[in-house]
Chains A and B, each alone.
Chain A
Amino acid sequence: DAGITQSPRHKVTETGTPVTLRCHQTENHRYMYWYRQDPGHGLRLIHYSYGVKDTDKGEVSDGYSVSRSKTEDFLLTLESATSSQTSVYFCAISGPGQGPKGRPQHFGDGTRLSIL
């Protein structure tokens, strides 16, 4: 199993509060990703990182920010959580490239976030 740990695994919080989710990897992979999974939408990319302090937006980045100060950690922050951000959040990592010579993204087990 790829060494990916997401924390917390479950969280319930209130609208308007800040929330930070953590993804920690032990694989020393360059790329890290945050996705959310919602019924009827599959997996949608929120933000990704291609190196320390190098991040970019994904498909559904509004309301989210990320930081990567170390290779092994990628943080996802909801500055002011809203009920629409209730979801299951997955972190993924990948090595150099995803083609035949690369390595596909491997996922953590997710964080179930409920915003009341």
Chain B
Amino acid sequence: DQQVKQNSPSLSVQEGRISILNCDYTNSMFDYFLWYKKYPAEGPTFLISISSIKDKNEDGRFTVFLNKSAKHLSLHIVPSQPGDSAVYFCAATTQGGSEKLVFGKGTKLTVNP
């Protein structure tokens, strides 16, 4: 069963506007969450992460919000730029041990000029 869900396969926004990508998880043992961005023909690249002891982490234009009670996290990109067009994967893990990541299926973001 899918432990990390990204229910929107695609999202289209205008340049300069906010992009909001959502992710839900079911395993309450997850305590660390990551977002990766992937361009075609390249490997995923790490974008931003958040620990379960926080509810927000910010890095430049990217902010990740975590709502533990709802088992929901979101990635906000503001302002969105055409170069942000990519597939975004949400991932979760339990710290310590094997550090295995469980990924969602991804959301394809298109930022239109």
User: Counting chain A CB atoms within 10 Å of each CB, which of B89, B95, B98, B101 scores highest?
Assistant: B101
Cα A19 to Cα B51 in complex, Å, equals 39
Binding site of B, secondary structure by majority: helix, strand, loop or mixed? Answer: loop
- Residues of the B chain whose Cβ atoms lie less than 8 Å from the Cβ of A99: 31-32, 51, 95-96
**Interface on B for A, CB 8 Å cutoff?**
6, 31-32, 34, 36, 41-46, 49, 51, 89, 91, 93, 95-96, 98-106
Residue of B nearest to A103 (CB): B46
A71 touches B (CB below 8 Å): no
Residue contact A106 to B46, C-beta cutoff 8 Å: yes
18 A-B pairs with CB atoms under 8 Å apart are A4-B43, A33-B100, A41-B105, A42-B89, A43-B44, A43-B89, A44-B103, A45-B100, A48-B100, A50-B98, A90-B43, A98-B34, A99-B31, A99-B32, A100-B51, A102-B95, A107-B45, A110-B41
Cβ proximity bits A88-116 to B, threshold 8 Å, 1 near / 0 not = 00101010011110101111111000000
Residue contact B100 to A58, C-beta cutoff 8 Å: yes
Residue contact B32 to A109, C-beta cutoff 8 Å: no
Residue contact B101 to A45, C-beta cutoff 8 Å: yes
Cβ contact of B99, chosen from A94, A100, A107, A110, cutoff 8 A: A94
Cβ proximity bits A16-56 to B, threshold 8 Å, 1 near / 0 not = 00000000000000010101000011111100101000001
Residue contact B42 to A31, C-beta cutoff 8 Å: no
- Residues of the A chain whose Cβ atoms lie less than 8 Å from the Cβ of B49: 98, 104
